[in-house]
Amino acid sequence: MKPTLDVAIVGASAAGIGLGLMLQAIGVERFALLERHEVGASFRRWPRETRFITPSFYGNPFGLPDLNAVSPASSPAITCGSEHPSGEAYARYLELLAQTHELPLITGCAVRTMTPLPGGGFEIVTDQGTGTASHVVWATGEYQFPDLAPFPGAELCRHYAQVESWRAFAGEERSVIGGYESGVDAAIQLVRQGCRVRLLARRSTWDADGPLDPSLSLSPYTRERLEQALESGRLEVVFGADVIAVEKEEGRHLIRAADGRAWLTDRAPVLATGFLGGGGARQIEALFDWNEAGMPLLSEHDESTRTPGLFLAGPQVRHDARIFCFIYKFRQRFSLIGATLAERLGLQPSIPSDQAWWMFESVDPACCANDCDC
């Protein structure tokens, strides 16, 4: 890595590439993206059949950027040729952006340690050398950090994030633990492979109280596919199943729920209970304050409340009850980070017309009450 940077972005997936394009547009010269694998690594690890639940559509000429875009002038719908891109296709979209804009990207560059310096800034030790940065944007996402131990015996299960393709399960009987997006998607994909599936959902419904928010209730895309899976007759949904343990019993798997119910299955259950709270921020846990819900505390500009100069970007960003876990949500935070960095670096950015970042106008968490549609 370069010995001295104004800004280091750690991670080169949707948040990292999006912020890199913003820094380039506002005139930051000494910055780099440090990626331990390749561009879009998290998306490349999705199961082959997984698709975006938010639709992509090209509405840019009318001031309506693609919901899955990370730059206002681009559209995954055009690049991927799909309304619901696969993870691999979306990673290629991100890679194309990085190449087209010649972002200062360093792949195969894992950050081993990051230490705040007494006078400000950070020393960063990587696989490719040691350097310093005045500011750091941590954009490592969450998909590569699955929660593998939500209850005793979880190691006997196969986590959603460990599945390369659902075709490997064809024709089997399976139980899926977890009733939100990944759990329902797993059940749908298994049914499509000819499996008989039992879906164990903790909640008694998929409907959330208050306004419809796909961070809290099933997306329309998933609901539509779920109805088709139910019509197959191969999907059983068990609501109110709070799984507390999985045990091995005479070669079979016994799934236990808090209310005393239990289910036996011949195959390892699919674990779809989500990812570690805070995602990749757990890698530098000591540099953040954490709330009771296990999420990192951030300022109004998404800066660590404990470590000045350290910003968080991506799906792990939370502000009280406001969840920014979709691309069209967390990209709205880019301008807040960009404006803060520009001010601290003494820049007066002039944004080119093809990088009209006002189209991703930032959302103030304070205005996002439950009765407000921002």
Which residue has tokens 């804009």?
101
Q: Is the pLDDT assigned to residue 272 strictly greater than 60?
A: yes
Q: Which domains does the chain have, with CATH numbers?
A: 4-144+276-367 (3.50.50.60), 154-271 (3.50.50.60)
- pLDDT of 367: 42
CA distance 22 to 194: 45
Of residues 299 and 359, which shows the higher confidence score?
299
HSE of 82, CA atoms in CB hemisphere, 13 A: 16
CA distance 251 to 301: 52
pLDDT band for 235, please (50, 70, 90 cuts).
very high
Token pair in block for residue 228: 């088709």
Contacts with 208 (C-beta within 8 Å, 6 or more apart), sequence order: 216, 217
Q: Is the pLDDT assigned to residue 37 strictly greater than 50?
A: yes
Over the stretch 170-227, which tens digit does the pLDDT of each residue have? 988 999 999 899 999 999 999 999 999 999 999 866 766 656 677 778 889 999 999 9
HEC secondary structure over 247-285: EEECCEEEEEECCCCEEEECCCCEECCCECCCHHHHHHH
Query: What pTM was estimated for this model as a whole?
Result: 0.91
User: Average pLDDT of 228-238?
Assistant: 96
Instruction: Return the SS3 of 155.
Output: helix
